[in-house]
Structure 1
Amino acid sequence: MGRIGIFTQDFKFYHDVIYQLREWELPFVSIEDPGQIPEDVPVVLSADGDDQLPRQIKSSNPVQAIRMALPRLLNRYDFNSIIIGIDPGPRPGIAVTADMILTEAYECPDTASVGKEVQEIADFYSYKNISIKIGNGDKPNRMAIMDALEKTNIGITIVDETNTSMPHKIHDNALSAARIAFIEGNYYPLAVPRKFNRKDVYDKEFVTIRKLVLSGQGNS
């Protein structure tokens, strides 16, 4: 199992990046001695003003640092393909897949936030190709979102979002966005696990970065 290292003299960055890593549920370790970085730490996160280290990513923005670190957890320097899935609505869902691995899924507070969120994803991930898939529902909000995305200059495909909001017991906009990102062909081929709950539905339905890292498969 690979872990993300943290080495910084910046207390705010230290606090914020630990908070984010816990939110992402990614394993991490604080580096006390920069001369002794554990072998299972493929990447070290530091603030912009910190000393230089091997395997290091510097950014005072903790989310940027984590997004930049993700391919390192899989023994890569970048991803081949990033797909951003968007579930249109008044509180749009956004999800990111990196080489068919679900890395994040969350809900935006409003449609006006989507352009900024997508631009930051495009800026913070390391990749060769990037594209957007947006569901064909809620036309007024979908059109508003697409207008906001025009400035990103990222190609957008409108996909049939049939099956992406089922079952209603566990549905949320982030989950729908993840399913939209994975649509290949006409619509999402929903296969609901017999036993599921809101907490583990992502790991059961998708290959997630969290599951890969915790299982040790990211180091293979």
Structure 2
Amino acid sequence: MIVVATADFELYHEAVGELRSRGVTFTTVEPGDPLPDQTRVLITAPSDDVETDPTVSRVTATGDDVRRAVDEALATLRGGGGQTVVGVDPGTRPGIAVLSGQTVVAAFHVPLADAVEVIKRETDDAIDPVVRIGDGARLQGAKLINDLDGVAVELVDETGTTPYLGTGARGMGDVLAAVNIAQMSGKRIESREIEPTAGELQRIKERSREVSDDSRTIDEDLARRVAGGELSIDEALDEHRTREE
């Protein structure tokens, strides 16, 4: 069982809320009070003066990193957790799944522009994490690979990773694919250079026309820079307008 024992009010409030939201069995005690016999993990602040026996794992946290602490506590309860692995199903809105060992501890579905920040946040405090990115959506995947530094990245063959989605599961495919990608070993990679195809460039140009207020279509040079991650479509449209002034 998880026990929260802290004099830090913010940590207490955030930890209790996080544990309740996940449906976890836990209890709270005052620092220094005897721990229940079934205690296996203790969540405290670094400044709390508590004593534990060797059978109890202590996880320290502040109110700002409670989710990380709860993830660690749950991983301990499940048998020591394991390596942090982030699976990514690339695209304009990548699915992102964070696994601790074989347990999914977090999932996200965010715009491509936010994906690197999310991945870095989830791996910053992890020990020897790895990010596994599917090899589909080549342009978006290459951008993620090239923008991720300071963390090991693997390129995974994502064939067959998108599951069948039954009634009511619409929108979950990218995240579920990311879970499957996280569970597959890939090839270690540090960068990926992709030469966009004529079809990919055409789709970018068509997309620029769809999102512009003046039915404007960017040229191939700008589309190529968008494909390489140098510009967003909005930035390419702004540059296209500037050229005409």
Same fold (TM over 0.5): yes
Secondary structure in 2 aligned to 1:72?
helix
CA contact (8 A) 2:71 2:105 kept: no
In structure 1, the residue matched to 2:92 is: 90
> Take 2:17 and 2:68, find their aligned partners in 1: how far apart are those partners?
14
In structure 2, the residue matched to 1:72 is: 76
Aligned counterparts, 1:146-157, within 5 A: 146-149=145-148, 151-157=149-155
The alpha carbon displacement at 1:168 in A equals 5.4
CA contact (8 A) 2:89 2:178 kept: yes
Aligned counterparts, 1:27-38, within 5 A: 27-32=25-30, 34-38=32-36
Deviations 1:152-175 (CA, angstroms, capped at 9, x unpaired)? 331322322424242254251322
CA contact (8 A) 2:145 2:153 kept: no
In structure 2, the residue matched to 1:138 is: 137
Residue type at the aligned position of 1:147: N
Aligned counterparts, 1:108-119, within 5 A: 108-119=109-120
Unaligned 5+ runs, structure 2: 187-245
Secondary structure in 1 aligned to 2:180?
helix
Unaligned 5+ runs, structure 1: 186-220
The alpha carbon displacement at 1:82 in A equals 3.2
> Take 1:22 and 1:142, find their aligned partners in 2: how far apart are those partners?
36
Q: Which residue of the other structure, out of 16, 39, 51, is the alignment partner of 2:37? A: 39
Secondary structure in 2 aligned to 1:18?
helix
Q: Which of the pair has more CA radius of gyration?
A: 2
Cα 1:178–1:15 shift into 2, 3 Å: same
In structure 1, the residue matched to 2:103 is: 102
Deviations 1:106-141 (CA, angstroms, capped at 9, x unpaired)? 11432233333333333334x5x5322212222332
Aligned counterparts, 1:46-61, within 5 A: 46-54=44-52, 55-60=57-62, 61=65
The alpha carbon displacement at 1:86 in A equals 1.0
Secondary structure in 2 aligned to 1:137?
coil
CA contact (8 A) 2:93 2:109 kept: yes
> Take 1:48 and 1:113, find their aligned partners in 2: how far apart are those partners?
31
When the two structures are superposed, what TM-score results if normalisation uses the length of structure 2? 0.61
Residue type at the aligned position of 1:69: A
Residue type at the aligned position of 2:71: R
The alpha carbon displacement at 1:93 in A equals 2.0
> Take 2:140 and 2:37, find their aligned partners in 1: how far apart are those partners?
48
Deviations 1:3-37 (CA, angstroms, capped at 9, x unpaired)? 22111222222222222223433322112463311
The alpha carbon displacement at 1:62 in A equals 0.2
The alpha carbon displacement at 1:64 in A equals 2.2
Secondary structure in 1 aligned to 2:38?
coil
CA contact (8 A) 1:91 1:111 kept: yes
In structure 1, the residue matched to 2:13 is: 15
Are 2:7 and 1:6 equivalent residues in the alignment?
Answer: no
Residue type at the aligned position of 1:160: E
When the two structures are superposed, what TM-score results if normalisation uses the length of structure 1? 0.67
Secondary structure in 2 aligned to 1:152?
coil
CA contact (8 A) 1:161 1:180 kept: no
CA contact (8 A) 2:45 2:60 kept: yes
CA RMSD in angstroms comes to 2.7
